[in-house]
């Protein structure tokens, strides 16, 4: 009976073949519950709504936490896709990224019960309920594909991010030396000059800090153009990754669910 129940739960929660209609209904229900939780969290910050519907918001919160807790314990019991066995195996499974996200999604509600003192950090932990957004990654194939592409292109993305950081440091340093005498308050140090560099490189342009010297304006023009190019590089890398992922699907290549790298046609190991 226990094994039969465990197998049923496994098929409902994981559905490795993607053919169980009941598993699809469970997935849709949990995704809707997550989205409703986020909506409730947002409405809770509106004072007028919070005062009128405080009881119902709290009741919905506890109902949701109860469902997410049962889901978490059920996943821990069945052992996940790898079907972890034994206490050590389940402990390792509990430390996997998706299981940690599930735990962090429910933990902020239980911690105040264990630590009843009204500490500031306990109130701040309520914001961790936003972790439930990340739970969508477990149920959304599109989000899983995005994560696999990011993992597959992580080396190129890291190089692009390092290049952006180098440009940020160079721009901040040069602008400090060019503008610090003309605007000692706006460009009083290199760290403070980084605010201008970030705003310029991202083309936001708040206009609160800007160069007034001729050389400063020339540098600002160059940095603005380079910033556009630099921030376009990660987008190009991700686009190439999505194209490669699509081509792999057309040729029948199997993609590793853990690292995102293609395994080749017919391989599943």
pLDDT, greater one: 236 or 8: 236
135 and 16 within one domain: yes
Residue at a domain's end among 91, 114, 139:
139
CA 241 to chain centre: 18
CATH number at residue 70: 1.20.120.350
Please state the domain count of the chain: 2
* Cα–Cα distance for residue pair 128/152, rounded to 1 Å: 28
Domain, as residue range, for 204: 154-265
212 and 92 within one domain: no
- pLDDT above 70 (res 95): yes
Counting DSSP H helices and E strands in the chain, the numbers are 11, 2
217 and 92 within one domain: no
**pLDDT tens-digit profile of 6-64?**
778 877 877 665 566 788 788 888 888 888 888 888 888 888 888 899 899 889 989 99
- pTM of the predicted structure, to 2 decimals: 0.59
- pLDDT above 50 (res 269): no
184 and 251 within one domain: yes
**pLDDT tens-digit profile of 54-65?**
899 889 989 998
pLDDT grade for 268, boundaries at 50, 70 and 90: very low
Hunting for tokens 């602008």 — which residue is that? 175
For residue 199, give every residue at least 6 positions away whose Cβ sits within 8 Å of its Cβ, in sequence order, or none: 205, 206, 209
- The pLDDT of 170-198, averaged and rounded, is 92
**pLDDT tens-digit profile of 134-143?**
666 666 777 7
pLDDT, greater one: 88 or 208: 208
86 and 186 within one domain: no
Residue at a domain's end among 139, 169, 190:
139
Q: Quick check: helix, strand or coil at residue 242?
A: helix
**Does residue 74 form part of some domain?**
yes
């Amino acid at each position: 009976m226990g094994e039969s129940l465990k197998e049923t739960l496994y098929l409902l929660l994981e559905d490795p073949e993607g053919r169980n209609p009941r598993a699809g209904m469970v997935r849709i229900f949990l995704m809707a519950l997550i989205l409703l939780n986020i909506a409730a969290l947002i409405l809770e910050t509106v004072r007028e709504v919070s005062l009128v519907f405080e009881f119902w918001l709290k009741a919905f919160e506890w109902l949701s936490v109860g469902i997410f807790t049962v889901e978490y314990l059920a996943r821990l019991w069945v052992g996940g896709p790898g079907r972890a066995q034994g206490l050590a195996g389940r402990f390792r499974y509990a430390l996997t990224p998706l299981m940690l996200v599930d735990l962090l999604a429910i933990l902020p509600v239980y911690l105040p019960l264990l630590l009843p003192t009204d500490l500031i950090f306990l109130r701040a932990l309520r914001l961790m309920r936003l972790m439930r957004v990340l739970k969508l990654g477990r149920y959304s194939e599109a989000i899983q594909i995005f994560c696999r592409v990011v993992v597959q292109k992580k080396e190129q993305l890291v190089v692009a991010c390092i290049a952006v950081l180098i440009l940020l440091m160079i721009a901040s340093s040069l602008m400090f030396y060019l503008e610090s005498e003309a605007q000692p308050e706006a460009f009083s140090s290199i760290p403070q000059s980084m605010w201008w560099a970030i705003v310029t490189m991202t083309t936001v342009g708040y206009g609160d800090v800007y160069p007034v010297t001729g050389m400063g304006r020339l540098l600002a023009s160059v940095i603005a153009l380079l910033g556009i190019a630099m921030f376009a590089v990660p987008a190009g890398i991700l686009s190439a990754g999505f194209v490669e992922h699509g081509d792999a699907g057309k040729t029948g290549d199997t993609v590793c669910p853990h690292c995102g790298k293609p395994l080749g046609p017919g391989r599943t190991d």
